Amino acid sequence: MKIGVLALQGDFEEHLRALEKCGVERMAVRLPQELDEVGGLIIPGGESTTIGKLMDRYGISEKIRQRHAEGMPIYGTCAGLILLAKEIVASQQTRLGLMNITVERNAYGRQIDSFEADVLAPRLGEVPLRAVFIRAPVVREVASSVEVLATHDNVPILIQEGNLLASSFHPELTDDLRVHRYFLDTVRKSL
Ligand code: GLN
């Protein structure tokens, strides 16, 4: 099992390092054909408009959609979550549009651009997760097919829909590997 990290822009190095700590094979993915080598894909945090434009330039969006339709799990963090969303409030930006959620970018407000919080995610164990938010999107709506695994102030922050996992925070910036391990379990089950 090998996991790909979309490495067009953003904090893909941190995800590769988290995967290394999980002891799993991993590779940076930029080209469409590289997706044939991986069983799962992580879309990192960064700038979703930039990553979206680069995905078009590298011609990789269609291939991601195709691999997803074949059952490949995808995990998006922050900008990655935005790119997975079907609806982005007041934005026409390029997206994969695979997940039945509505998100609003940078919606936590300027004063709290970045913050951290301890949140409970019962499926990942009793110990709270340290969630790091950086200009994070707010998940405004989720379809009934979307499972909410963690919330902060009643806003979903860790969600799953079938083989799609998304967080508005950045577990790759902490030493807690539980969200990555949870994704790896999803990939294992999909193989
Ligand atoms: N604010 C960024 C965006 O809208 C996301 C920030 C992040 O990924 N940390 O794309």
Classify burial at 175, counting beta carbons within 10 Å of its beta carbon; exposed 0-12, middle 13-18, buried 19 or more.
exposed
**51 C-alpha to center of ligand 1: Å?**
10
135 CB under 6 A from ligand 1? yes
pLDDT score at 113: 84
**133 Cα–ligand 1 center, Å:** 9
pLDDT tens for residues 128-185? 999 999 999 999 999 999 999 999 999 999 999 999 999 999 999 999 999 999 999 9
Assess whether the C-beta atom of 54 lies below 6 angstroms from ligand 1.
no
Q: Which residues are catalytic?
A: 78, 170, 172
Decide whether any atom of ligand 1 lies within 6 Å of the 47 Cβ: yes
Counting atoms of ligand 1 from 1, which one is nearest the CA of 82?
10
| Ligand 1 midpoint to CA 131 (Å) | 15
Residue bearing tokens 């997975």: 84
- Report the pLDDT value the prediction gives residue 111, as an integer from 0 to 100: 64
Flag whether pLDDT at 79 surpasses 80. Answer: yes
Instruction: Say what the pLDDT of residue 71 is.
Output: 98
Position 69 scores a pLDDT of 97
The residue whose C-alpha atom lies closest to atom 2 belonging to ligand 1 is 47
Nearest-atom number in ligand 1 for the CA of 49 is 10
Mean pLDDT across 52-74 = 98
Ligand 1: centre distance to CA 191 (Å): 31
* Average pLDDT estimate for 64-73: 98
Label each residue of the chain as H, E or C: CEEEEECCCCCHHHHHHHHHHCCCEEEEECCHHHHHHCCEEEECCCCHHHHHHHHHHCCCHHHHHHHHHCCCCEEEECHHHHHHEEEECCCCCCCCCCEEEEEECCCCCCCCCEEEEEECCHHHCCCCEEEEEECCCEEEEECCCCEEEEEECCEEEEEEECCEEEECCCHHHCCCCHHHHHHHHHHHHHC
What's the pLDDT tens digit per position in 2-55? 999 999 999 999 999 999 999 999 999 999 999 999 999 999 999 999 999 999
Digit-coded pLDDT (tens) for 96-115: 999 999 999 999 876 678 99
Pick among 3.30.910.10, 3.40.50.880, 1.10.357.10, 1.10.260.40: CATH of 2-190 = 3.40.50.880
